[in-house]
Amino acid sequence: MIAETVKWVGGVNGVLELIDQRQLPDRLEILRIRSVEQLYEAIKTLAVRGAPAIGVAAAYGPLLALHWLAAGEGPPEALEGVVKACDYLASSRPTAVNLSWSLGRVCARARSVAGDAGSTIEDLQEAVLAEAKAIHAEDVEMCRKIGANGEKFIRDGFGVLTHCNAGALATAGQGTALSVLFEAQKKGRQFEVYADETRPLLQGSRLTAWELQQAGIKATVICDNMAGFLMRQGKIQAVITGADRIAANGDTANKIGTYSVSVLAKHHGIPFYVAAPSSTFDLSLASGEGIPIEQRNASEVTWMGGAHIAPDNIDVYNPAFDVTPAGNITAIITERGVIVGPNPDRIRTLLG
Ligand code: MRU
């Protein structure tokens, strides 16, 4: 990766730098985020995207809120500002649980410091920055471990299909699904990757293909409706994707189209792997039925590259995610180990 997907520059009054993923693959531009509103907008419009990356980026949001404190405000007012910023940012995208998980962590740390007798605004700022940096560093480490735990599933001569982007651009580290491929590459394994283009926002062709090309991994872009034919032709030996939220029974929300790919993989007897950190599990939900699915603007479907590709006023349904039932998943690869044949018992045992 030429630049870091998420980077905090400076101390408590620093700036959040994000790769503007809306511009890729044409331009590598860095966005400088100085307010909670700018961060909300960056998450909402997918300048920063991917479950772990939005979790890490949002963790710095409360710090941005503290930049704008009025003179004379003390820890109680500052805490109010932090909580407001957390609630606001958490509402930007509903499906990826990493967002509310990381904001919850930062908020809890802020509450505990603000509750200490004699604590100052500076203490609060330092504590929020430390928590955000801890979440950031943990994400980098989780990515590496997911890769190390999953690389054995990618063998010489494999064709591997992936959907959306679960690479370095979707995390603060080297990705989840793509981390598995990067670690297999480091072992000297020869394989090739098919990247579903991933309509409507093309994260596969714009971002995954770009990352794989940079890493020197043989990559081929296909339209989403081609995956079944490639499987039938024997070109695919494994499917690997990331996840936005995994319920207690292993049902997994990921980018729209993932469910269809899982059905195709099951039909063709091809293993289907999900790579995700433990922060992507939501054990409060018994099954995928309870996962909120983000609905996005119709224009994402009716326009492409500045051109109208559907008639005016046509009805559009644009769910950004779908849920793959646990029964279609061969294994979930986490930083703590691999859950083969995910079910509630195995998931609880691994996550503790
Ligand atoms: O809408 P996006 O681009 O944020 O969707 C991203 C995905 O669905 C990823 O596969 C998922 O967040 C995992 S990223 C490691």
pLDDT, tens only, 51-93: 999 999 999 999 999 988 766 788 888 999 999 999 999 999 9
Residue 29 confidence (pLDDT): 97
> Cα 305 from chain centroid?
24
Give the other-Cβ count within 10 Å of 314's Cβ.
9
Q: What is the pLDDT of residue 88?
A: 98
Q: Is the dihedral of CA 210, 259, 191, 335 positive or negative?
A: positive
Mapped onto helix, strand or coil, the DSSP state of residue 162 is strand
From CA 129, how far away is CA 124, in angstroms rounded?
Answer: 9
| Identity of residue 140 | V
Strand order of the sheet with strand 218-222?
218-222, 192-196, 159-162, 238-241, 272-275, 331-333, 338-340
Number of helical (H) and strand (E) elements in the chain, helices listed first? 13, 16
Query: 203 CA distance to ligand 1 centroid (A)?
Result: 8
Nearest CA to ligand 1 atom 10: 242
Nearest atom of ligand 1 to the alpha carbon of 320: 1
Measure 321 CA to ligand 1 centroid, in angstroms.
Answer: 9
Angle, CA 178 vertex, CA 156 and CA 285 arms, to 5°? 120
* Cβ < 6 A, ligand 1 pocket: 46, 49-52, 96, 164, 166, 170-171, 176, 203, 241-244, 254-255, 320
Q: From CA 58, how far away is CA 82, in angstroms rounded? A: 12
The best mutation among 97, 165, 178, 211 to test binding of ligand 1, ranked by most ligand atoms within 8 Å of the C-beta, falls on 165
Render pLDDT for 294-345 as a digit per residue (tens, 0 to 9).
999 999 999 998 999 999 899 999 999 999 999 999 999 999 999 999 999 9
Strand duo 272-275 + 331-333: pairing: parallel
Quick one: pLDDT at residue 71? 67
Query: How much is the average pLDDT of 131-149?
Result: 98
